[in-house]
Amino acid sequence: MNPRKIHLYNFVIIIISCLLLSEEALADNAYSNLPGHVPEANISQAQYKGRMATAKQLDLTVALPLRNQSDLKILLQRLYDPKDALYGKYLTPTEFTANYGPTQSDYNAVKNYFISKGYAIGKSHENRTLLKVSAPVAKIENSLQVNLNTYTKKNKSFYAPDTNPELPSLIATKVIGIIGLDNSVINRHHNRMQINKTKSAQSPLQNGTGLGNAFSPNDIRKAYNLTTIPTTGKGQVVALFEQDGYTKSDILTYQQYFNLPAIPLENVLVDGFDGVPVPRGGGGAGEVTLDIEMVLAVAQGLEKIIVYEGPNNPKGTLSIYQRIADDNTAKQISTSWGSPEREIGKVALDAENQIFMQMAAQGQTLFAASGDNGAYDTPSGHVLNVDDPASNPYVVGVGGTSLILDASQNYSSESVWNDGLASRGAGGGVSVIWPIPSYQIGVPGIASTRFRNVPDVALNADINTGYSDYFNGQWQEMGGTSAAAPLWAAYLALVNEQRVLDGKAVMGHLLPRLYALEATSSYLDDFHDITQGNNFHYRAGPGYDNATGLGTINSNLFNDLIAGDAYGSQVITFNLALPLWVKHAAVLSATASSGLTVTYTSKTPLICKLSGGTVTAIKVGSCTIAANQSGSANFSAAQEVTQDIAVTKIPQSIVFRPITYIRVKQSIQMPASLTSGLALKYKTFTPDICSVKGSKVKGIKVGSCTIVANQPGNANFSAALQVTQTVSVGPSLPK
């Protein structure tokens, strides 16, 4: 197109966009400050170098808030409560957007505002939470009322604003913040490497069968009892979050050497990333390679592995996570990239959190490495810190251990990974951002009862007990929590394959389930409980600890994740089916297979009433009793069972003591009674021989007198069976 026409076209777009803005927004002269954009901690430790070049083009991401967030949190509780009707009924990305994404009108208003200020508009995300815009620095500074400055810190350069940006108040209410105004924080990959490992390089701590005695895929599977699992991940997809590329020939060599199936790899390039690995020392290609190889080691029947690759900057981080959520192809995701929580701006954390909530609503599980610098999360750190995104409450934080095998590569022992070198060890601690989630409340061993505790689980991460890895054309030994996270993702693929075969939903947000298991008697069969060592601050101990979380994978975890849906199932057996007499009571005898107490309700309160476990009949009819067991921390609610009990009248019988002789003109009281206590009714079949009045019989003349006793019953008693009595009437005594 002719350059002059391009300029004219852009001009027309700007004019139209301005017109699309509401008159109210254009007329509003009030501006609002957007907090959380100045990286104070990083600037305070850096040297000011001057202003950014005004002509430099800068790409930004505008984050918009989700709608109905309180409703979304309630939904997430229900989706993961096995006692709820919505359990496992996850949303699609389309459903999530329709219910919780920003409205199209809000999204358009924000987009049109930036167009009106001369910004170019980039990719629009399907759920409307992220908007890509770009403009020269001069235009950004003018429109947002900031100065963009450059700094150096420890020989690294970065830029950042000197104040928080401002937007018109009506637009500011539709925006969380603007990501990309600073690049002071880039993600680190959490792996440790020993190069040129050979068979002769014997580690005293290690007895693996891989090159240099590092752990091979078979060693991993055997050590963590995966060889008995019947699944291989068939039909499942694992996604890997990556901020560098990899070389496919490295993966092929690893597969061929260990005789692994050729699982398809699919690359998804985000934000213009070209997929070319950054040369050694300058990037994280080794991380990408390690992640892929760890997944291949455990889940050897996957449908595919999707490697999402993007640039290592705050905008790239959000774009990759959002693409994984929008695709919703993989139900198990791993990231080995992160940054110290205290260094990340609240704006970026909030924008991430929205994506992780979307993943949870869609049944996706994200595992994140907890970091390789112990409780301080930075080399030679002195302030306790945890790593993002492992500290997010919707992410499974994966810590690290040192795994020792016996001579046959069987599990021997584990302790917290801590090799004492430059704070090299398993990350873990307490978040300063996120409040304690419900699944951690009341868990013994947590360091904080107010904030999120990290990690949740762990696996081997020690470089001295590391994994065989082929990267950049050579064998090496790799460790770090970045090896542990993809191993957990691969393990979940094995679990989810079986759940799908059993007709169940995939696990999704795994943490409520994992923490529920700690309270059960099978905890030590589900996890190796790590009780030895520390991560430079937090010590391991029985149960949960902030060094290794709940522990590492043990033999029975697979079974408990596919059966019972976090709670054991239970059924009710109702044993009472006898009829019940009116005005009488009976003790109910329903039992739950769990052994938990059953509760009862009367479906027919006019017929029968309840007091605890006792039912009392009120009147004749059909009494329906329902038995329920609502569940507990370990058992799901039982299906309601009802029992129909016939309420009948009380039977009664006549007790007639026989008399055989009376005299003429003699009257006697009939010797009869009723078990009910009601009055008997008499009559005679021989009125010429004897007469009956009330309960007395009188002889009239000599002969054989037949008397009948009966009781017709009433509302509570059934009629008595009629009884007859024969009496001889003799002559009267002489005077």
Domain ranges of the chain: 11-66+101-179, 188-562, 572-648, 654-730
Q: In this model, does residue 360 exceed pLDDT 90?
A: yes
Instruction: Say how far apart CA 530 and CA 458 lie, in whole Å.
Output: 9
Question: Can you tell me which residue has the tokens 């993702």?
Answer: 489
Q: What is the pLDDT of residue 319?
A: 94
Which residue in 414, 417, 393 sits closest to 404, CA to CA?
414
Across the chain, mean pLDDT equals 88
The answer regarding whether domain 188-562 maps to CATH 3.20.20.140 reads no
More confident residue, 103 or 283: 103
For the ranges 15-19, 299-303, 441-445, the lowest mean pLDDT is seen at 15-19
Q: In this model, does residue 93 exceed pLDDT 70?
A: yes
Q: In this model, does residue 201 exceed pLDDT 50?
A: no
pLDDT digits (tens, 9 = 90+) for 637-689: 788 999 898 999 988 888 877 777 889 988 888 877 888 888 888 899 999 99
Q: Which CATH number describes the domain made up of 572-648? A: 2.60.40.1080
Q: In this model, does residue 418 exceed pLDDT 60?
A: yes
More confident residue, 706 or 207: 706
Q: What is the pLDDT of residue 491?
A: 98
Q: What is the pLDDT of residue 716?
A: 86
Taking a C-beta distance cutoff of 8 angstroms, is the pair 466, 413 a contact?
no
CA 454 to chain centre: 16
Residue 19 banded pLDDT, cuts 50, 70, 90: very low
Across 63-72, 659-668, 699-708, the highest mean pLDDT is recorded for 63-72
Percent of the chain with pLDDT over 90: 66
Q: What is the pLDDT of residue 18?
A: 46
For the ranges 563-572, 585-594, 677-686, the lowest mean pLDDT is seen at 563-572
Q: What is the pLDDT of residue 608?
A: 92
Q: Quick one: DSSP state of residue 374?
A: G
Which residue type is seen at 515? Y
pLDDT digits (tens, 9 = 90+) for 137-191: 999 999 999 999 999 988 889 999 999 999 999 999 999 999 999 988 887 787 6
Which residue type is seen at 683? K
Region 335-354: what's the mean pLDDT?
93
Which residue type is seen at 69? Q
Q: What is the pLDDT of residue 568?
A: 58
**Main-chain dihedrals φ then ψ at residue 684, nearest 5 degrees:** -120, 145
Taking a C-beta distance cutoff of 8 angstroms, is the pair 384, 538 a contact?
no
Q: What is the pLDDT of residue 23?
A: 42
Instruction: Say how far apart CA 480 and CA 460 lie, in whole Å.
Output: 8
Across 277-286, 381-390, 426-435, the highest mean pLDDT is recorded for 426-435
Residue 259 CB contacts under 8 Å (≥ 6 apart), including other chains: none
- Sequence length of the chain is 735
Residue 11 CB contacts under 8 Å (≥ 6 apart), including other chains: none
Question: Can you tell me which residue has the tokens 């979307």?
Answer: 358
Q: What is the pLDDT of residue 345?
A: 87
Q: What is the pLDDT of residue 483?
A: 95
Q: Which CATH number describes the domain made up of 654-730? A: 2.60.40.1080
For the ranges 40-44, 268-272, 336-340, 469-473, the lowest mean pLDDT is seen at 40-44
Taking a C-beta distance cutoff of 8 angstroms, is the pair 138, 118 a contact?
no
Cis preceding-peptide flag for 579 (omega within 30 of 0): no
572-648 and 654-730 have identical folds:
yes
pLDDT digits (tens, 9 = 90+) for 223-251: 999 999 999 999 999 999 999 999 999 99
Region 569-577: what's the mean pLDDT?
76
More confident residue, 581 or 236: 236
Q: What is the pLDDT of residue 21?
A: 46
Residue 255 banded pLDDT, cuts 50, 70, 90: very high
Q: What is the pLDDT of residue 320?
A: 96
Question: Can you tell me which residue has the tokens 């689980």?
Answer: 457
Q: What is the pLDDT of residue 108?
A: 95
Q: What is the pLDDT of residue 194?
A: 60
Taking a C-beta distance cutoff of 8 angstroms, is the pair 584, 650 a contact?
yes
pLDDT digits (tens, 9 = 90+) for 499-511: 999 888 999 999 9
Q: What is the pLDDT of residue 125?
A: 81
**Main-chain dihedrals φ then ψ at residue 121, nearest 5 degrees:** -100, 130
Which residue in 241, 226, 285, 292 sits closest to 264, CA to CA?
292
How is 694-731 classified by DSSP, letter by letter? TTEEEE-SSEEEEEEEE----SSBPPPPPEEEEEEEEP
112-113-119-125 Cα dihedral, nearest 10 degrees: -50
Residue 193 banded pLDDT, cuts 50, 70, 90: low
